[in-house]
Chains A and B, each alone.
Chain A
Amino acid sequence: MSTNQGKLKPSSSELDLDRPNIEDYLPSGASIQEPHGKLRLSDLLDISPILTEAAGAIVDDSFTRCFKSNSPEPWNWNVYLFPLWCFGVVFRYLILFPARAIVLTIGWIIFLSCFIPVHFLLKGNDALRKKLERVLVELICSFFVASWTGVVKYHGPRPSMRPKQVFVANHTSMIDFIILEQMTAFAVIMQKHPGWVGLLQSTILESVGCIWFNRSEAKDREIVAKKLREHSQGADNNPLLIFPEGTCVNNQYSVMFKKGAFELGCTVCPIAIKYNKIFVDAFWNSRKQSFTMHLLQLMTSWAVVCDVWYLEPQNLRPGETAIEFAERVRDIISVRAGLRKVPWDGYLKYSRPSPKHRERKQQSFAESVLRRLEEK
């Protein structure tokens, strides 16, 4: 989610361990039939299947599709609909937006005037302080949701505060966290951001027990895994919320889940979130706009309508690996939220695929050549 538009670094080989065989998902195209018979010069020179795959990827690929913003079709370029649209724009920007900004400001004033005293004066009385801070964070999140005229329908039983359970959800934008937080104060694990968001992260969200990671640091993974484990074992910590996709996806597809959340030895409670596209495209395309612009866009649209489903808690089945468990939960969430699954690791947004995949293709080509050499 960081606005890192510079160089792409080669990914660490660790990231591949998370991923089952991509070849199972990719369209194999011309390589479906194994070539047989004696090897001839034409077989060696014929690179057409490999070129076809490359050209197919240039023309359309399932990874870039996951991060495409769904901009609504212009319905307003018409002599009688256009004035209606203009009126809508004026209403949204000159009436709705200022009203919402006022609501949000009032919310912040109330929040800060309660939070700062509670935080500093109740330093000794930890249990009471935590409880009050939790309530206040839920309050400010409700104000945020109100400032976008958020209509959120929650389905399913409310999460309860039990030890040894984590919550996982699909990720579309940072507002996922706010929408979930207004109902229950979760401790979320997020990328540390720069700017005013980072300030909020280090002051207010720290009090709910949030954990930070830094995508660009390789060693960070082990430290974060340890923190996750410690947090999930504690009985009076806030329930942990993890977005296993690791990046924002456009609410039409779901990318591979990282296995970190699934090997903590806890019950995993899936949450599915689906936004209604008619009102606003809630996907935060972090390459195209900053979070501030994204929030402004939300505050100037008609409403943010979404459904949140709290799904049945899942446990690791005997004989199931963490990756299979992650895939199973991804299946449950994707079916509920109507998302299409793609076999890509979300971090490929920030780094290149490891050479292991190219090597696999090279290996199958080499084996085919050597095998056919034996045939007479």
Chain B
Amino acid sequence: MLTRNYLFIFFFLFLAVSLEPNSSKILSETMGNSSSMLTQYDIEEVQQHCQRLFSQQEIVSLYERFCQLDRNAKGFISADEFLSVPEFAMNPLSQRLLKMVDGLNFKDFVAFLSAFSAKASVQMKIKLIFKVYDSDGNGKVSFNDILEVLRDLSGSFISDNQREQVLTQLLKEAGYSKDSYLTLDDFIKVLGSPGLKMEVEVPVD
């Protein structure tokens, strides 16, 4: 009889542990296994990895966001989960960005976003833009690479011919030809004005 009462009590307490939202936090802290939380050491490691472009508070906020998007705590965010954010899915360059962020772990996720920090240099931002254009990663952006990005941006509202014409003309005016390959230095030359704004604010509560 006594053991049956104990069984009932254990059953109810087990229910409590599974239903109470705070119990998992307390359990993981008491058992010393805080895999769902960031330690100070983790935060500093991530900060080091992103060249200190985010403050520690911002990294904690980004971690909350990362866990929110990564639904089954796999340690990375899948392409499907990124596309479940409608604002991201509607962006014309979403597929290109997906190739760069799909499957990143938290450290690399923060490193990717660090180009959008207010403290990042203009060169870092242009480097990211270059990477978006240089989809095969060979360090050179060809005429066709630029055409493809233009196609993503303008869709069916400009004809292919018109796009080629406009691009050839603008390249000529800037001193390049249709067959020239643009390197990162060329991009810095063309885009490197101090007015280049590419910043995202991380909400910190």
B197: CB under 8 A from chain A?
A: yes
CA A63 – CA B90 in complex, angstroms?
13
Write the A327-353 contact mask toward B (1 if CB under 8 angstroms, else 0). Answer: 000000000000000001000100011
A54 touches B97 (CB 8 A): yes
Residues of B within 8 A of A362 (CB): 92, 153-157
Interface residues on chain B, number (Cβ under 8 Å): 70
Give the shortest distance, in Å, between A69 (CB) and chain B (any CB): 8
Tell me whether B128 is interfacial, beta carbon within 8 Å.
yes
Inter-chain contacts of A57 with B (CB < 8 A)? 85, 87-88, 91
B92 touches A42 (CB 8 A): no
Q: Is the CB–CB distance between B157 and A52 below 8 Å? A: no
Q: A26-B87, A74-B25 are in contact. Are A45 and B187 (CB under 8 A)?
A: yes
Interface size class on chain A is 35 or more
A45 touches B153 (CB 8 A): no
Chain B neighbourhood of A79, CB < 8 A: none
Bound: A97/B166 CA distance, A: 72
Q: Is the CB of B15 within 8 A of A300?
A: yes
Known contacts being A50-B153, A63-B86, A74-B22, is A42 close to B200, with CB within 8 Å?
no
Give the CA-CA distance A293 to B85 in the complex, in Å.
26
**Which of B19, B167, B174: most chain A Cβ within 10 A?**
B19
Within 8 A of A (CB), among B1-37: 9, 12-13, 15-16, 19-23, 25-26, 29
Is A54 within 8 A of B196, CB to CB? no
Residues in B with CB closer than 8 Å to A154 are none
**Whole-angstrom CA separation of A357 from B91 in the bound complex:** 8
Q: Which B residues touch A59, using CB under 8 A? A: 62, 65, 113, 116, 200-203
Of residues 182 through 205 on chain B, the ones whose CB sits less than 8 Å from some CB of chain A are 187, 190-191, 193, 196-203
Query: From residue 55 to 75 of chain B, which have CB atoms closer than 8 A to chain A?
Result: 62, 65, 68-69, 71
Is A58 part of the binding interface, using a Cβ–Cβ cutoff of 8 Å? yes
- Complex Cα distance, B20 from A90, in Å, reads 12
Tell whether, in the assembled complex, residue A366 and residue B158 are in contact, meaning their CB atoms are under 8 Å apart: yes
Most buried by B among A58, A90, A362: A58
Asked if residues A50 and B12 are in contact (CB atoms below 8 Å), the reply is: no
Closest to A5 in B: B71
The residue that B15 contacts in the complex, of A56, A68, A296, A365, with Cβ under 8 A, is A296
Instruction: Tell me if A224 is interfacial: C-beta within 8 Å of chain B.
Output: no
How many whole Å from A293's CB to the nearest CB in chain B? 7
Q: Does A358 contact B (CB under 8 A)?
A: yes
- Report the minimal beta-carbon distance from A54 to chain B, rounded to whole angstroms: 4
Closest chain B CB from A345 CB (angstroms): 8
Q: Map CB proximity to B onto A348-371 as digits: 1 under 8 Å, 0 otherwise.
A: 100011000111011101110110
Contact A352 B89 (CB under 8 A): yes
Judge if A53 is at the interface, Cβ distance under 8 Å: yes
| Inter-chain contacts of B203 with A (CB < 8 A) | 59-60
Which of B101, B132, B157 is close to A363, meaning CB atoms less than 8 Å apart? B157
The docked-state distance in angstroms from the alpha carbon of A300 to that of B68 is 26
Majority SS of interface residues in chain A? Answer: helix
Query: Within the complex, which residue of A46, A344, A353, A369 is in contact with B158, where a contact is CB–CB below 8 Å?
Result: A369
Nearest-CB residue, chain B, relative to A350: B84
Q: Is A218 located at the chain interface by the 8 A CB criterion?
A: no
- Inter-chain contacts of B200 with A (CB < 8 A): 52, 55-56, 59
Q: Chain A residues with Cβ under 8 A from B89's Cβ?
A: 352-353
**Which B residues between 82 and 107 are near A, CB-CB below 8 angstroms?**
82-94, 97, 101
Which chain B residue shows the least CB distance to A373? B166
A361 to B176, CA, bound (A): 29
B147 to chain A, nearest CB (A): 11
For residue A287, CB closer than 8 A to chain B, the reply is yes
- Verify if A202 is at the interface (C-beta below 8 Å from B): no
| Pairwise interchain contact A61-B16, C-beta atoms closer than 8 A | no
Inter-subunit contact B113/A58 (CB<8 Å)? yes
A46 & B196 in contact (Cβ 8 Å cutoff): yes
B193: nearest residue on chain A (CB-CB)?
A42
Q: Is B146 an interface residue (CB 8 A)?
A: yes
A89 at interface, CB cutoff 8 A: yes
Known: A40-B173, A47-B129, A287-B71. A89 touches B65 (CB 8 A): no
Binding site for A on B (CB under 8 A): 9, 12-13, 15-16, 19-23, 25-26, 29, 62, 65, 68-69, 71, 80, 82-94, 97, 101, 113, 116, 125, 128-129, 132-133, 146, 149-150, 153-158, 162, 166-167, 170-171, 173-174, 176, 187, 190-191, 193, 196-203
19 A-B pairs, CB-CB below 8 angstroms? A8-B84, A44-B150, A45-B187, A46-B191, A49-B198, A51-B97, A55-B200, A57-B87, A58-B82, A59-B203, A68-B68, A89-B23, A296-B19, A353-B89, A358-B92, A359-B155, A363-B155, A367-B157, A370-B158
5 tightest Cβ-Cβ pairs between the two chains A and B:
A362-B155, A366-B157, A57-B87, A48-B198, A57-B88
Point out residues on A near B: beta carbons under 8 Å.
8, 26, 30, 39-42, 44-64, 68, 71-72, 74, 76-77, 85, 89-90, 92-94, 97, 287, 293, 296-297, 300, 344, 348, 352-353, 357-359, 361-363, 365-367, 369-370, 373
